[in-house]
Amino acid sequence: MTAKPVLAAVEPQLFVSDINAACDFYADKLGFQTVFLYGGPPFYAQVQRDTVRLNLRHTDSPAFDDRFRQSQPDALSATVTLEDAAPLFEEFQASGATFHQLLRQEPWGAKTFIVRDPDGNLLAFAS
């Protein structure tokens, strides 16, 4: 009898217009570190904070067109879960991150906030 496979992690791929600028944003505003840059010039990268990894992929056209954002203004690119969102929210406020949604208590009990990166990717942080 074989053991049931266990899923260990997920690494969302976010589409960005400038890999270096995106790595700088995730480092300076959200406290991630660049794990690797690939290509010359770079077209792919990975950033990591604690056990969370995000893959960044260059695209020449916007990942989200205006019609999509108008019809789906809260469409998320990734959700990061953590024990307590409030201290992280305060950290991101101090760093000057751009918020799509400020910290709030959801009807189902979670505390959430959403950060918008320079390319329009929305990242939810929830506890």
Query: Distance between terminal CA atoms of the chain?
Result: 37
Do the domain assignments include residue 68? no
* Count of domains observed in the chain: 1
CA–CA dist 59, 12 (Å, integer):
15
Do the domain assignments include residue 67? no
Do the domain assignments include residue 32? yes
Q: What is the CATH number of the domain that holds 91?
A: 3.10.180.10
The answer for 105, left when phi > 0, alpha when psi is -120 to 50, beta otherwise, is beta
Q: Give me the tens of pLDDT residue by residue for the chain, a chain 127 residues long.
A: 788 998 888 999 999 999 999 999 999 999 999 999 999 999 999 999 999 999 999 999 888 878 888 888 899 999 999 999 999 999 999 999 999 999 999 999 999 999 999 999 999 999 9
Do the domain assignments include residue 53? yes
User: Token digits for 69?
Assistant: 């954002």
Range of the domain at 94: 13-59+74-126
The per-residue pLDDT for 6 is 87
The H helix count followed by the E strand count for the chain is 3, 8
Pairing of strands 13-16, 33-38: unpaired
Helices (H), the chain: 19-28, 66-71, 85-95
The per-residue pLDDT for 16 is 96
User: Token digits for 26?
Assistant: 């995730």
Do the domain assignments include residue 66? no
Do the domain assignments include residue 20? yes
- Please list the residues that pair with 79 across neighbouring strands: 124
The per-residue pLDDT for 73 is 86
Do the domain assignments include residue 3? no
- Per the CB < 8 A criterion, the answer to whether 51 and 95 are in contact is no
Do the domain assignments include residue 85? yes
